[in-house]
Amino acid sequence: MNEIQDSYNPATQSSELKVLAPVFDAEILVLDEIGASKPTEWVRDTMAHIINTRYNDKKLTIFTTNYMDDRKAEKEETLEDRIGVRLRSRLFEMCRTVKIEGTDFRRTFDQVSQMKRR
């Protein structure tokens, strides 16, 4: 996203389409941690452009997220809360959900590290 934003700067020698070409052309694209941060309207529009282009071109896109569609607790955010209705709707249309559950390896690693320090 930073590279795309830089393409609007006249001092850089790139354009938005030049920066996005590898994203559009990749046979398989992995967009990791969708919803990890709440996107600005510009980021949301850019993501929609990427996702729609890949969808229309029938390119495989894998999305990962830690946000579910159902709230387990009242204050818990859903993926739709994080990325917006429009993007979530497109993902419903083009994706199959694969839920992976397990122990957070970062927490496990941290606990082992703390025990070793003692």
Confidence of residue 62 (pLDDT cuts 50, 70, 90): very high
**Cα–Cα distance between 41 and 43 in angstroms, integer?**
6
pLDDT beyond 90 at 2: no
pLDDT digits (tens, 9 = 90+) for 13-53: 467 778 788 999 999 999 999 999 888 888 888 899 999 99
Please give the average per-residue pLDDT across 68-77, as a whole number: 88
**Which strand (E) or helix (H) includes residue 2?**
helix 2-6
Helix (H, G, I), strand (E, B) or coil at 94: helix
Among residues 101, 95, 4, the alpha carbon closest in space to that of 55 is found at 95
| Percent of all residues in the chain with a pLDDT value above 90, rounded to a whole number | 49
Query: Given the structure tokens 């122990």, which residue do they identify?
Result: 103
pTM metric for this prediction: 0.75
